[in-house]
């Protein structure tokens, strides 16, 4: 299935650092493979060939001078197009930001550069990250590399597809209600949402500020963990950035094993899911048990309220975050006689239907007379949910469940039914509301041979337990695949 460079990030970095391969040749190859192979999948909305080559030369020069360009030396990385890149168009896949060139870099972009990584392009997404299929993009949909009649999931579908297709070993996405994990599951790659505050949001174009987190995509848990380590850490430009630092490296976590870990299989994250998805999650849980974890099923009834709370909180914050696209300072302007009409004409022409729907919903939820019933109530549900998680985490170290209720669906299947589309995030939303970390790890396949993702949830700041469990699930999936191949 790989249409690009089959190398993993560690191999590239070590070869670049040891002169075996130049960063320039890596970038050239990657750009070439995207130009050749992405026309069908359309995972990228723009390539940054020139700046990437320039950056690669800098990395090669650092190596030539006997210095170390960083742990991701020469590793090509794709960025979701809601991460600001200085001098390179950043659109959120929206017409309203068409042609806008940010005058500054997001903090994660600086961190990638400091680690020697090379940003090669920007990936497609649902417009302003609102969607679960990457179909609401102004630039048209991205297709699933496993089956191009299917969606890649969303909203970070472009990043998931770019990694799944092998164009890049690593990519960044953003996850507000599952926008990293769900497309990772549907595309058969690893996708992770860190604890809220672990990764600076400075330069991430906001959808719902109290839920948004940037996180990694990779083809392995180890690579995702490495990328997470590179992008995380305190940032004084983000007031919600956490001060606490990690006690141990993810590398130790990846090899520790799950013996003695208490794993809860969450009933609500299995209920009503596609049968093959349920089977895969149970197999993954069994594999954890065989590896020494104490596995037990647990119900968290409060999770049932998460979807409703999310679809009030996220649109409410979005309605405010997206007010600034008014045609005054940047982005699309549609002229009109007076400023209010100009604002409305620009917004009406610049936003697609899903974005308008959510702005409408959020504006309504915050408006006079409805605040307490909707937004206020949803925030109390958030408190309830956090308390429920806290209680469950007294008994368990991590929780597992499905990432997505089903495997990748047909393009257009849910486009006219918002609620059906919103239900795609039912398993991922609780972690966003609580601010907790969660990861989706591929585990076998479901209907039509399409990938299934198993989700591992952990309490705030416990990314390492999550990585430990994710690594064991990954190994079990690989063992199962090998057994399956041996049998045929």
Interface of this chain with another protein, residues 447 to 486, rule: CB under 8 A? 460
Which lies closer to another protein via its Cβ, residue 289 or residue 418?
Answer: 418
Rounded CA-CA distance 453/455 in Å is 6
Interface of this chain with another protein, residues 208 to 247, rule: CB under 8 A? 208-210, 236-240, 242-243
Contact 428, 403 (CB under 8 A): yes
Rounded CA-CA distance 126/132 in Å is 7
Q: How many residues bind another protein (CB under 8 A)?
A: 97
Q: Give the length of the chain.
A: 488
Nearest to 43 by CA among 171, 132, 130: 171
Q: How far is CA 301 from each of CA 197, 207, 381, 392, rounded to the nearest angstrom?
A: 27, 28, 12, 11
Give the one residue of 204, 293, 473, 477 binding another protein; rule: CB under 8 A: 204
Residue 183 has what DSSP assignment?
Answer: H
Of 33-41, 140-148, 196-204, 445-453, the segment contacting another protein by CB under 8 A is 196-204
Task: Dump the DSSP string for 431-466.
Answer: HHHHT--EEEEEEEE-GGG-EEEEEEE--TT-HHHH
Q: What is the closest distance, in whole angstroms, from the C-beta atom of residue 247 to another protein in the complex?
A: 18
84 binds another protein, rule: CB under 8 A: yes
391 binds another protein, rule: CB under 8 A: no
Q: Is 54 a catalytic residue?
A: no
Q: What is the closest distance, in whole angstroms, from the C-beta atom of residue 94 to another protein in the complex?
A: 10
Contacts of 282-286 with C-beta under 8 Å, sequence gap 24+, read 283/443, 283/444, 283/476, 283/480, 284/400, 284/441, 284/443, 284/454, 284/473, 284/476, 284/477, 285/400
Which lies closer to another protein via its Cβ, residue 75 or residue 77?
Answer: 77
Q: How far is CA 319 from each of CA 229, 282, 311, 340, 485, rounded to the nearest angstrom?
A: 32, 39, 12, 17, 50
Interface of this chain with another protein, residues 290 to 319, rule: CB under 8 A? 304-305, 307-309, 311-312, 316-317, 319
Per-residue mark of binding to another protein, 2-41 (x: CB under 8 A): ----------------------------------------
Residue 272 has what DSSP assignment?
Answer: T
Give the one residue of 1, 39, 103, 394 binding another protein; rule: CB under 8 A: 103
Task: Dump the DSSP string for 216-255.
Answer: EEESSHHHHHHHHHHHBS--TT-TT------SS-HHHHHH
**Residue of 33, 43, 133, 179 marked catalytic:** 179
327 binds another protein, rule: CB under 8 A: yes
Q: What is the closest distance, in whole angstroms, from the C-beta atom of residue 26 to another protein in the complex?
A: 28
Interface of this chain with another protein, residues 328 to 387, rule: CB under 8 A? 328-333, 335-345, 347-348, 351, 353, 356-357, 359-361, 363-364, 366-368, 371, 373-384, 386
**Residue of 43, 132, 133, 155 marked catalytic:** 155
Which lies closer to another protein via its Cβ, residue 128 or residue 217?
Answer: 128
Q: Is 155 a catalytic residue?
A: yes
Nearest to 110 by CA among 241, 200, 223: 200
**18: how many CB neighbours lie within 10 A of its CB?**
10
Which lies closer to another protein via its Cβ, residue 39 or residue 329?
Answer: 329
Helix (H) or strand (E) holding 187: helix 181-187
Which lies closer to another protein via its Cβ, residue 292 or residue 353?
Answer: 353
51 binds another protein, rule: CB under 8 A: no
Give the one residue of 15, 75, 100, 191 binding another protein; rule: CB under 8 A: 100
**Residue of 33, 43, 80, 122 marked catalytic:** 80
Which residues are catalytic, by number? Answer: 80, 155, 179
């Amino acid at each position: 299935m790989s249409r690009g460079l089959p190398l993993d990030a560690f191999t590239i970095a070590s070869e670049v650092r040891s002169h075996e391969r130049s960063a320039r040749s890596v970038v050239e190859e990657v750009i070439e493979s995207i130009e050749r192979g992405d026309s069908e999948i359309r995972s990228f909305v723009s390539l940054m060939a020139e700046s990437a080559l320039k950056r690669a030369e800098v990395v090669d020069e650092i190596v030539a001078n006997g210095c170390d360009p960083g742990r991701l030396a020469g590793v090509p990385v794709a960025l979701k197009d809601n991460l600001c890149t200085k001098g390179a168009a950043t659109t959120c896949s929206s017409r309203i930001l068409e042609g806008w060139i940010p005058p500054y870099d997001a903090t994660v972009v600086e961190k990638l550069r400091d680690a020697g990584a090379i940003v090669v392009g920007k990936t497609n997404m649902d417009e302003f990250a609102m969607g679960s299929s990457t179909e609401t993009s102004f630039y048209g949909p991205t297709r699933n590399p496993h089956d191009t009649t299917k969606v890649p999931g969303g909203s970070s579908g472009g990043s998931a597809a770019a990694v799944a297709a092998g164009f890049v070993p690593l990519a960044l996405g953003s996850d507000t209600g599952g926008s990293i994990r769900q497309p990772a599951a549907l595309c058969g790659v690893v996708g992770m949402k860190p604890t809220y505050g672990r990764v600076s949001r400075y330069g991430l174009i906001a959808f719902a500020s109290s839920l948004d987190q940037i996180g990694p995509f990779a083809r392995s848990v180890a690579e995702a963990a490495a990328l997470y380590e590179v992008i995380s850490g305190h940032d004084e430009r983000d007031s919600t950035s956490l001060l606490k630092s990690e006690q141990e490296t993810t590398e130790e976590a990846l090899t520790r094993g799950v013996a003695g870990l208490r794993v809860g299989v969450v009933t609500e994250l299995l209920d009503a899911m596609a049968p093959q998805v349920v089977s895969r999650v149970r197999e993954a849980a069994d594999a954890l048990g065989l590896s020494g974890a104490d596995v037990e099923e647990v119900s968290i009834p409060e999770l049932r309220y998460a979807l409703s709370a999310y679809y009030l909180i996220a649109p409410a914050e979005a309605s405010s975050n997206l007010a600034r696209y008014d045609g005054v300072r940047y982005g699309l302007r549609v002229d009109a006689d007076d400023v209010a009409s100009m604002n409305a004409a620009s917004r009406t022409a610049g936003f697609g239907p899903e974005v308008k729907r959510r702005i409408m919903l959020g504006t309504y939820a915050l408006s006079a007379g409805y605040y307490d019933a909707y937004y206020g109530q949803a925030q109390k549900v958030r408190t309830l949910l956090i308390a429920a998680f806290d209680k469950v985490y007294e008994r368990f170290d991590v929780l597992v469940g499905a990432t997505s209720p089903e495997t990748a669906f047909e393009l257009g299947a849910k486009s006219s039914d918002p609620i059906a589309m919103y239900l795609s995030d039912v398993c991922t939303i609780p972690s966003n509301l609580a601010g907790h970390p969660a990861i989706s790890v591929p585990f076998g396949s479901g209907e039509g041979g399409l990938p299934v993702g198993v989700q591992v949830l952990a309490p705030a700041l416990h990314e390492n337990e999550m990585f430990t469990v994710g690594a064991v699930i990954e190994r079990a999936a690989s063992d199962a695949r090998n057994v399956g191949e041996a049998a045929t």
